[in-house]
Amino acid sequence: MLKFPYCNVTDLNQALAQCRFVGLLGPLASRRRSPRAVVSCSPSSSEFSLTPVQAVMSCQQQVGSSLVNRLRLGGLTEDGFSYKEKFIIRGFEVGINKIATIETIANLLQEVGSNHAQSVGFSTDGFGTSPTMRKLHLIWVTARMHIEVYKYPAWRDVIEIETWCQNEGRIGTRRDWILNDVTTGEVIGRATSKWVMMNQDTRRMQKVSDDVKEEYLVFCPREPRLAFSEKNNKSLKRIAKLEDPVRYSKLGLKPRRADLDMNQHVNNVTYIGWVLESIPKEIIDTHELQAITLDYRRECQQYNVVDSLTGLELTEGSKMVSVGTNGSATATATTREDDHDCHRFLHLLRLSSDGREINRGRTEWRKKPTR
């Protein structure tokens, strides 16, 4: 879901209709032909030679007086290759400790991505699809999401989120985010995701064609830019499948109607909530989530019933102790000698009916800070 909002997209589309673009949506095509787009923003104005990004930003300025644009604290960056937006953390977005929840963070990431897509003239229906994708009934679906939060914002804090996207292999695209505390300028979180293309009718994955790439790569950074640039960073770590028997579980979870997104399947953020349902209470009470990785394997529909399974992840240096009435050896902690306040878990979401895997995940928890 390439999601991009600086202007009211209805107004933007009207402005685009009044403008004359040559090769606006041709990132690769513009490189093969001409890197410039000829734009005339009114029938009586003279024509200016602009890049596609400059053309979009120019038309945004023409419709920038709309009510949505005046109220929205976001827009394309100066070079047009990323998007930033500010948010105030509201009361219904925090938990009992007045700190934003991980679901709030994930929802804001989706919102910024969607606004980014719309700000460059992509679809206004929330799918973030390009003209070619809509013509062929193609949509973006999440394949992998990784979020790290270094410091959770509190109620009434103001944060700024920057996002950008780029090509990711032959079958996908990548979107990254950086989260900043506006007051201190501190980086409080980072995230990255991989999206693949699906045929909306057949629900089958499809290779990203050159035609589609030509429509969105023009709005991507010219050089690779990664939120996680460190070698062997956690976002790259493979998630092992969790096998039964597991120590913690929450069975019989059912999607609510409100959990469905505009693609008519369960929203990505709902999976995060389901994963957390089977986290042991003693961890929830004393620790906070510092990193989560989810691999999306299968769509979940409204009438599916889901089981959430959680098990401790064994890492090098983990201890094994005997617990339980049967005295079986079970890992009670995944901590190393020098990391006793951190706990790591593996997760599995599966269909209750037949055990088919929906999602596998990994979470990492740190001791709650004293506030």
Q: What DSSP assignment string belongs to 200-254?
A: TTT--EE---HHHHHHHGGGS-SS---S--STT-GGGPPPPPP-SS-SEEEEEE-
pLDDT of residue 334: 42
Domain boundaries, the chain: 61-236, 237-314+340-370
What's the whole-model pTM score? 0.78
Positions annotated as catalytic residues are: 263, 265, 300
pLDDT of residue 254: 95
Alpha-helical (H) ranges within 36-177 are: 52-62, 67-71, 102-119, 131-135
Q: Which of 177, 119, 123 is nearest to 148 (CA)?
A: 177
pLDDT of residue 262: 76
Contact present, 277 and 348 (Cβ < 8 Å)? no
| Ordered per-residue pLDDT tens for the chain, 371 residues | 444 333 443 444 444 333 332 232 333 333 333 333 333 344 444 445 556 665 555 555 544 557 776 777 899 999 999 999 999 999 999 999 999 999 999 999 999 998 998 888 887 665 678 888 888 888 888 999 999 999 999 999 999 999 999 988 777 899 999 999 999 999 999 999 999 988 888 888 888 888 888 888 889 998 999 999 998 899 999 999 998 899 999 999 999 999 988 767 889 899 999 999 999 999 999 999 999 999 999 988 889 999 999 999 986 555 533 333 333 334 444 444 446 689 999 999 999 999 999 999 999 999 998 76
Q: Which of 345, 347, 352, 346 is nearest to 251 (CA)?
A: 352
pLDDT of residue 13: 43
pLDDT of residue 139: 86
Contact present, 274 and 349 (Cβ < 8 Å)? yes
Contact present, 149 and 105 (Cβ < 8 Å)? yes
CATH number of 237-314+340-370: 3.10.129.10
Rounded (10°) CA dihedral 271, 277, 282, 288 = 30
Domains 61-236 and 237-314+340-370 share a fold: yes
Q: Which of 21, 66, 26, 67 is nearest to 48 (CA)?
A: 21
Q: Which of 307, 312, 252 is nearest to 280 (CA)?
A: 312
* CATH class of this structure's domain 61-236: alpha beta
Cβ-in-10-Å burial (0-12, 13-18, 19+) of 152 comes to: buried
Q: What is the Cα–Cα distance from 38 to 48, expressed in whole angstroms?
A: 6
Chain Cα centroid distance, residue 355? 26
